[in-house]
Chain A
Amino acid sequence: MSFLSRRQAERLLAGLMQNDRVDEIHAVLRSTDGTVFRIAENLPDAPHRTSDSSLQITVRVGRRYGSARTNDLSEEGLNALVERAARHASVMPESPRVFPFPGADASAQPAADDSAQMRIPSAEVIRGVIGQSTGADMRISGSIAATRSSISVATSNGLLLHHPSDRIHTRFRVYASNGQSTGFGEHFSSSLDTSRIERTVQTAIDKCAAWRNPVEIDPTRITTVFEPRALADLFAPFIQQFSQRAIEEDGSFLRKLDGSSFVGSKMFKETVTLRSDPAAQGLLSLPFTLDGIPVKPETWIRNGVIEQVAVDRYTADERGIEPVAPPTNLMMDGGEQTLDELIAGTSRGLLVSGFADLRMIDPKNCLLSGSTRDGLFMIEDGTITGAVRNLMIRETPVYMLKELEDAGIPEHTSTTGTYVPMLLPPLRVKDALYGASSGLI
């Protein structure tokens, strides 16, 4: 099957690097062996197993670069791939500056979650999921995907990085039988844990049961308690702006009017500290970037002060500094309170469980817009008093972290849909901005 071990990847990439048709080669090799079990409206579909490997290369010929991609990893396939990339390079304009692809770097060796055996979900697990849903008089849609994958980055200058990972991705949405309320549960783990799948489904069912008869409210600014999953979706585009390139290209809130950056400036509340570490327990993530930079532990915000931004290889080379990889996971310091205690401390506000269709409206201040989803509730005098129809939010994490009132106990979470491990607390934020109802159930 097509899952490639380090040794297999090494052998394949070593063969590729022998090609002397070009001056340099940079390769990204991905392999995957996965099975997906889908359910739609309580109706299971056949599990589908796929095995594949694919290779993307960039080559340098003189001062020109060219790229190409294939999943034919035979000797002939690799030769044809290099030939194609070299052909592309021949018509590209000359690069004003040439600097070599990275070489061997011992510091970039990964701590991978390489489990011995991957178990895939059985029909009994799926039957259990559907049973939970029908038992609650609800309809469930979603999937359990079990994937064993690896990613390798290599260059003709001796770099070889390899990162295997096993992932069980459980993701379900339930609807009440009348179709008028919904709940969502998602979980990523490195091995099959049926009790965790049950809890994920139960989360969706509980949210759906609670979000009954939602009332419509007018556009407003209102204190909001954000659950960690909702925060993860807000923070993913936020942390991408911690980039020297984005600052210089006027695509980041960290750019000052005079063109300099806010690095070293206090922008947020004293309590805000945001870190990343690909080897953090329970948050293992890719320990290198696709261009071969090791991802090191970093503190991006310390006590409200911007401390670090990512610096790509090109910019680093230009400045004579070390490159800094962007984070592949995220951790935010929190407090001592549970989510319920944060709610109890709120006189009037909203509880937001998640978002749908969150989009960047203005990168210069990281302004995001999208609909709340899967649980929006009114909080009055410290208790949840009812469900609220989903609203369009129009807010920036920059403002949220400035107007942060309180943070709870951090929890493991991830961005919705794609695994970006995060350890985030629930947050209570003053005066988040909402527009009209989004129309989403």
Chain B
Amino acid sequence: MKRRTFLQASAFTAAAALTPLDLRSHRIAPAAPVVKTDWLQDAVQSALDAGATYAEALFRRDRSEMLQLRKTDISALESSDEAGIALRVFSGGAWGSAAVSSWEPGRPDALASAAIASASQLAKLRTQDIDLSSREQAGRQAWESPMETDPFAVSIEEKIDVLRGLTEKALSISQIPFAVANLFFRRMESELVTSRDAVLRQRSTFTYPNFAVTAFHQRLRRMDTRSSSLEAQAAGWEIVNASLESDLETSMQEALKLQTADPVARDSYDLVVHPTLLWDLLFDTLLPHLDPRTVLALDGNRPGDQWIDINNLANITVGSELLTLRADSSLPRGLASCGWDDTGRPSPSGTIVDAGRVVRLPFDETLPRLAGFETLGFTRTGMWNIPVAAAMPNIVMNAGTGGTVTELAANVDNGLLVKGRSRVMMNPAKTLFRVRPQMAWMIRGGEVAEPVRGVEIETSVEQFWKALDMLSSDNERITAGDLFPGRSSALWEVPFSVSVPAAVFRRIPVYTAQEAG
């Protein structure tokens, strides 16, 4: 079949196949446009014919678009569209896999042969049992992340207008000489066909608008930059206009206030940590230690360096009794929210850390079993050509009864309110961290007072999370995630979100950061 004919046929077949037996989301995922379900089914059948006891073929397409405006000029506009197919088989007591670009996938049996060959190589070295009980049974189903307006259908001109509106507004203030605004969009589409006759189609769309404004104080020769609070969400264009303008106003005002603030005095303070900073601290400092490959020292890069290892997993305390973390695969706007993982298991939820103790880990069936320890199967792939592996689900930190940020501050005599994500610097062993929040205010006698500059928090991961003393209620909660989680852990390929309230941490060392220049 010629390529063009193949494409037409595949689009038709895919569209015709869209009659979900079980609609797991409020909308039906549209047709995956590049590959035929038949091709995937043929690959699965070829693997079974060649002796596999189980097979799953995953088609995956990734689209992305990025725009950037510096001041009022567009400085970057990039887009990418890539797709491919991975076939995973269980044969002779071992898993095997192979992947091919969907542009020219060749014959389904050739991909099956490559995957069977992979399994037979591994079978010579080790074998294992297979448990398919948690996988979806026969049927066509679909899931799509909620979205009102498809960002890929919005014109580039409209996107530029939105960004220019932001930078022009910022630059209209004479003390703000520089502004940058960005838009990132990403879409992951997949179709999984398994030898249990399941056909699972999914589509997630991520939108991430952001900006940064820089204020400059001529006399004091000070530059202060504030960036937006909004983080990447599983959502569409609708979130772009929703809150950017008010966020910009807040950021500009805070950057200007910071210009004339005095430096913080080096001391230990009680910190009220705003959720716009707390999510990133959880993401960067604690969660990498809870990746199962790190716990099992299977990361290949830093085995042996882990703070939490398999021998102390059941006994170690990673935070105070207030620290409870749940995996939530249906978190609204969560980047890892999905109907199923990439092996066809319904997306999981469950407690990961309960009152400071690790009770369960996200897991992958190819990892060695953790005898006597509960796991939460969640296996995904970052792109079509990367083998599926254990992935982090969305993580939700329990809220408390402390009320609002202001009410939390009322419980602090001498402290700081710190806000806004910043680059978290980890030591090579990832046990110590340093961060400079974007904004900080003194708290005196329970009242939020004047802003201070140069706040640099430096402590150990363990000490920080054990110092957690109060949690705000749910109404302060934000959900945020990173489209490129590999910056925090080389193992993380798939975006996920964390949802956190505001919190109080007691007696945290704070240093006075050196001013640049």
Q: A46-B121, A76-B7 are in contact. Are A91 and B157 (CB under 8 A)?
A: yes
A75 to B4, CA, bound (A): 8
Q: Judge whether A53 and B101 touch: CB under 8 Å.
A: yes
Chain B residues whose C-beta falls within 8 Å of the C-beta of A321 in the assembled complex = none
Q: Would you call A296 an interface residue if the criterion is a C-beta within 8 Å of the partner chain's C-beta atoms?
A: no
Chain B residues whose C-beta falls within 8 Å of the C-beta of A130 in the assembled complex = 125
Q: A71-B82, A71-B101 are in contact. Are A46 and B94 (CB under 8 A)?
A: yes
Q: Judge whether A74 and B96 touch: CB under 8 Å.
A: no
Interface residues of A in 339-381 (CB under 8 A from B): 356-357, 370-371
What range describes how many residues of A lie at the interface?
35 or more
Contact pick for A440, options B77, B100, B102, B305, CB 8 Å? B305
Question: Which residue of chain A has its CB nearest to the CB of B300?
Answer: A141
One digit per residue, 1 when the CB lies within 8 angstroms of any chain B CB and 0 when it does not, for chain A 64-80 equals 00111111111111001
Q: Judge whether B98 and A43 touch: CB under 8 Å.
A: no
Interface residues of A in 34-55 (CB under 8 A from B): 37-41, 43-54
What range describes how many residues of B lie at the interface?
35 or more
Question: Which residue of chain A has its CB nearest to the CB of B3?
Answer: A74
Q: Judge whether B368 and A43 touch: CB under 8 Å.
A: yes
Q: Judge whether A74 and B103 touch: CB under 8 Å.
A: yes
Chain B residues whose C-beta falls within 8 Å of the C-beta of A434 in the assembled complex = none
A366 to B73, CA, bound (A): 31
Q: Judge whether B104 and A2 touch: CB under 8 Å.
A: yes
One digit per residue, 1 when the CB lies within 8 angstroms of any chain A CB and 0 when it does not, for chain B 124-139 equals 1110000000000000
Shortest CB-to-CB span from A416 to chain B, Å, is: 11
Q: Judge whether B101 and A51 touch: CB under 8 Å.
A: yes
One digit per residue, 1 when the CB lies within 8 angstroms of any chain A CB and 0 when it does not, for chain B 202-216 equals 000000000000000
Shortest CB-to-CB span from B89 to chain A, Å, is: 9
Question: Which residue of chain B has its CB nearest to the CB of A49?
Answer: B98
Q: Judge whether A73 and B104 touch: CB under 8 Å.
A: yes
Chain A residues whose C-beta falls within 8 Å of the C-beta of B106 in the assembled complex = 1
Q: Judge whether A43 and B126 touch: CB under 8 Å.
A: yes
Q: Would you call B99 an interface residue if the criterion is a C-beta within 8 Å of the partner chain's C-beta atoms?
A: yes
Main secondary structure of the interface of B (DSSP, over half): mixed
Interface residues of B in 77-112 (CB under 8 A from A): 77-84, 94-104, 106
Stretch binding the partner chain, chosen from A104-112, A120-128, A161-169, A249-257? A120-128
Contact pick for B303, options A53, A126, A141, CB 8 Å? A141
Shortest CB-to-CB span from B303 to chain A, Å, is: 5
Q: A2-B104, A52-B84, A75-B4 are in contact. Are A40 and B298 (CB under 8 A)?
A: yes
Contact pick for A438, options B78, B82, B428, CB 8 Å? B428
- Name which of B95, B102, B125 has the most chain A CB atoms within 10 A of its CB: B125
Chain A residues whose C-beta falls within 8 Å of the C-beta of B502 in the assembled complex = none
Q: A40-B303, A182-B304 are in contact. Are A371 and B428 (CB under 8 A)?
A: yes
Chain B residues whose C-beta falls within 8 Å of the C-beta of A66 in the assembled complex = 77
Q: Would you call B485 an interface residue if the criterion is a C-beta within 8 Å of the partner chain's C-beta atoms?
A: no
A165 to B99, CA, bound (A): 21
Q: A91-B157, A123-B122, A123-B125 are in contact. Are A441 and B305 (CB under 8 A)?
A: yes
Given contacts A76-B3, A141-B303, 19 further A-B pairs with CB under 8 A are: A43-B126, A44-B125, A44-B126, A45-B387, A46-B366, A47-B121, A48-B98, A49-B97, A50-B385, A52-B101, A68-B78, A74-B4, A88-B79, A91-B77, A93-B73, A124-B124, A173-B300, A179-B297, A440-B429
3 closest A-B pairs (Cβ-Cβ)?
A439-B429, A40-B298, A123-B124
